[in-house]
Amino acid sequence: MKSSANSGLVYSTDGGRMCPECRRPLAQCSCKASAAAVGDGIVRVSRQTKGRGGKSVTLVKGLALDAIALAQLGKQLRTACGSGGTVKDGVIEVQGDHCELVMETLARLGHHPKRTGG
């Protein structure tokens, strides 16, 4: 079996998920802090039920914000909708079908959202 330069520890019970580049826990990752914000600047709002047992979720993608600002915006959107949700991999998820309310809130905060999907 060949060993690869990219192979290594992926998950540790001590630190959780590991960064593949600097090989540290994601909470202590040094390479992600210097990386640019993920997103193309076009804010897309959509509704999805796939893989969620028929329950709908409002997704916000394409925000060019860093992780801290994205988490704060997610908190503001969840509070405005009065529901739960999370931020995963640069995507804000708000539980329920709140596309119109999320779009109004984003527009009020200075973003230019576009509705995608049906």
- In which domain, by residue range, is 19 found? 9-36
Residue 39 Cα to chain centre, angstroms:
10
What is the distance between the alpha carbons of residues 17 and 88, in angstroms, rounded to a whole number? 14
Q: What pLDDT is recorded for position 35?
A: 46
Domain contains 2: no
Q: Are residues 19 and 30 in the same domain?
A: yes
Please tell me the distance from the alpha carbon of residue 99 to that of residue 112, in angstroms, as a whole number: 14
The Cα diameter of the chain in Å comes to 56
Q: How far is CA 104 from the centre of its chain?
A: 19
pLDDT at residue 71, as a whole number: 92
Task: Give the SS3 label for residue 68.
Answer: helix
Within a domain: 23: yes
Let me know whether 24 and 73 are in one domain: no
- Quick one: pLDDT at residue 36? 46
The residue ranges of the chain whose pLDDT is under 70 are 1-18, 26-27, 32-40, 118
Same domain flag for 69 and 109: yes
Residues 6+ apart with CB under 8 A from 36: none
